[in-house]
A and B are shown apart, each in its own frame.
Chain A
């Protein structure tokens, strides 16, 4: 597998590395997955005889708080990437000492990203248990069904992202010493996925909480 071209360096005519094209194609399919769920939401809501006042069923403050948390995690994610990208060999600050410092900063920002993801999930779990304690289940009405399905699927994506990020924070970071450029690309690709999870939430929040 080591002989495969363009895993790290850019193919001249397409201007891309394999992982970058791969992650965008995967996200294209994710757009269609969440797109289908949003379409279902629109169709079911327009066709509904009655629809609960969403903001009185779900908690807008919790949702807004989680929005901020997830946006912040996106920022720390991109800063984690930037701490590596600015210290690659050949960059202005590309010497050995700077590389060690870069790894420290990367670990800090990636750790913050993981922390934000964990906070998001804790708040989500709290919201869920609050619903259950008020006897509000997915089966109560179509809105709650959609709420639990869509946020549940989103939370699954958060969890998968956190598993990947945790690997890259811990054992995966060894690659920074051996193949710094490839590792930086990995962080960028993991980041693109993580930002996409953020984008999905940016739409889920108004649609499920505010409208």
Chain B
């Protein structure tokens, strides 16, 4: 596994954690502990994403300084 893949895997793990907590909180909006964990997972995801994008290019097209070339550059997710 390359360094890039390893970092992407970490982003997948922490953002999946955030996603699942977010979905859980849809039906349990009063669960403080889960909300705190969600906050933590989001912050971790943001930090990892910033690190990834600085090194390997944008993960989405909404960052302020997205390079047009970086966005259209391969590989796309299905081609990895």
Pair from one complex: no
Measuring CB to CB, which residues of chain A are less than 8 angstroms from any residue of chain B? none
Measuring CB to CB, which residues of chain B are less than 8 angstroms from any residue of chain A? none
